[in-house]
Amino acid sequence: MTSPRDALDALFTEAARLAVDTLAQNHDRDQPVVRRVPPRELIAALELELPAEGRGLEGVLDLARKTLHWSVRTGHPRFLNQLFGGYDPAGILGEWVAALGNTSMYTYEAAPVGTVVELALIERLNRYVGFDQGEGVFAPGGSISNLMCVLAARQRAFPHVKHEGLNADDRPVMFTSCESHYSLKRAGMVAGIGTGGTVEVPVDAQGRMRPDALERLVVAEARRGRTPFLVAATAGTTVAGAFDPIDALADVAGRHGLWLHVDASYGGSALLSVRHRDLLAGIDRADSVAWNPHKMMGVPLACSATLMRERGTLVGTMGMNADYLFHEDSDQDWDLGDRTLQCGRRVDALKLWYAWQVHGDQGYAERIEGLFDQARRFRALVEQRAGFRLVREPMGTNVCFRYLPRAERGATGEARDRAEGAATLRIRAALADSGRFLVNYATLDGAPTFRLVASNPLTGDEDLVALLDAIEDEA
């Protein structure tokens, strides 16, 4: 009989080798970014049926290999598709250790290390934001952080809501730019405001919320008898990568007594760079901030901080005081469970702690600056090539561009948009099918537009040039 220790040794020694092989392949550009197959083919390849009788540990490594074989290689330098990319060995180790410890973050008793690590990291992130007396908690993603912030704003504006719910005459209305992330509108829907309770504010040519338009809409909504309570600015919009002018929006919010939330899920990490932190000037005037280290900082998903300017806000909004969990004779002050929407909660702070120890503030500043530089270089390449054009002037690490195939170069106006849009769809699908590049698109200014995201420090100029070459080839 194999001892439990020997069985574990056999499994995890091999698993460690698989990890090394998988991560090392991110340095090999001949590896495909993705092996795209239709869902039915994938289902057949994976043998999804669950056995009535367990197969034991023997087959599980094969499952792991198969999983990785068919998965998108998000650490590949030519994975340019999402707002995250690359890989962080220390972060991955943090993720493993969290699974090994397998605990939940509700009480200090159940998660002593996770609790003090999370508190220390929240304090550090708050320091970058400028919240001297702040608090916070980690959440399963930017969408949930945004939701928690909308709920906190609603609680302040309508203090009866926690017990009574909204009254018919409350008529809450919130404001966010027409290019903000959909999770804000969804948060309004979950908060009982309805999607109709979110007013979309127009943006300028770079995709930034216009403070003058915000002011006008706030006044108009109040005149209609609705109750403005929240402005949700974005630092780093999903498609254009735009940074709303937070200072000017804070002026408007201040004049009308509105809660100012900054969805810095994507762009919050720019605060780590002296060169780029001005993009978020005024964030210290916000009431709440969402910031995802799993995006620009490269920490494994999910790692999202929900930050509040004022201590006590989270418990005031979320607290339910379940005495079977939060005991009076324990270290209750250290229990984080009443600050969140969740009960069981993963130890997401651990991977950020490990990674931050490895990189330090300096390493993160260099990483962020490297990604901004990568986007700037790609922007220049797009501008220099015939047939390519920028759709938005980039502010951060996203570059939105289109390509007009040679045969259609005479087209102008809407005909040009249509031809470029059709080419975007056709070419990006062909690139993904070939496994060479995964680069996303979105409809921007009326037509499908490529959106390159600089998110992986391994992506070099050779990859950026190769992408433009590949687009021309596919066209």
Ligand X SMILES: Cc1ncc(COP(=O)(O)O)c(C=O)c1O
Q: Which residues bind ligand X (CB under 6 A)?
A: 83, 141-143, 146, 181, 183, 234, 236-238, 263, 265-266, 292, 302, 304
Task: Considering the complex, state which of residue 234 and residue 397 has its C-beta at the smaller distance from ligand X.
Answer: 234
Task: Considering the complex, state which of residue 238 and residue 273 has its C-beta at the smaller distance from ligand X.
Answer: 238
Task: Considering the complex, state which of residue 234 and residue 313 has its C-beta at the smaller distance from ligand X.
Answer: 234
Q: How far is Cα 154 from Cα 188, in angstroms, rounded to an integer? A: 9
Q: How far is the CB of 187 from ligand X (least distance, A)?
A: 10
Sheet holding 288-291, edge to edge: 135-139, 304-308, 288-291, 259-264, 227-234, 172-177, 198-201
| Residue whose C-beta lies closest to ligand X | 142
Q: How far is Cα 238 from Cα 250, in angstroms, rounded to an integer? A: 21
What token pair was written down for 23?
Answer: 């991560």
Q: Give yes or no for a contact between 459 and 78, defined as CB atoms under 8 angstroms apart.
A: yes
Task: Considering the complex, state which of residue 126 and residue 237 has its C-beta at the smaller distance from ligand X.
Answer: 237
Task: Considering the complex, state which of residue 83 and residue 121 has its C-beta at the smaller distance from ligand X.
Answer: 83
Instruction: For 397-412, give one letter per residue: b (16+ CB within 10 A) or e.
Output: bbbbbbbbbeebeeee
Q: How far is the CB of 83 from ligand X (least distance, A)?
A: 5
Residue 327: how many other CB atoms lie within 10 Å: 12
Q: Give yes or no for a contact between 262 and 246, defined as CB atoms under 8 angstroms apart.
A: yes
Q: How far is the CB of 81 from ligand X (least distance, A)?
A: 11
Grouping H, G, I as helix, E, B as strand and the rest as coil, residue 228 is strand
**Measured over all CA atoms, what is the biggest interatomic distance in the chain, rounded to whole angstroms?**
79
Q: How far is the CB of 138 from ligand X (least distance, A)?
A: 12
Task: Considering the complex, state which of residue 193 and residue 262 has its C-beta at the smaller distance from ligand X.
Answer: 262
What token pair was written down for 61?
Answer: 């490594």
Q: How far is the CB of 82 from ligand X (least distance, A)?
A: 7
What token pair was written down for 280?
Answer: 């978020």
Q: How far is the CB of 264 from ligand X (least distance, A)?
A: 8
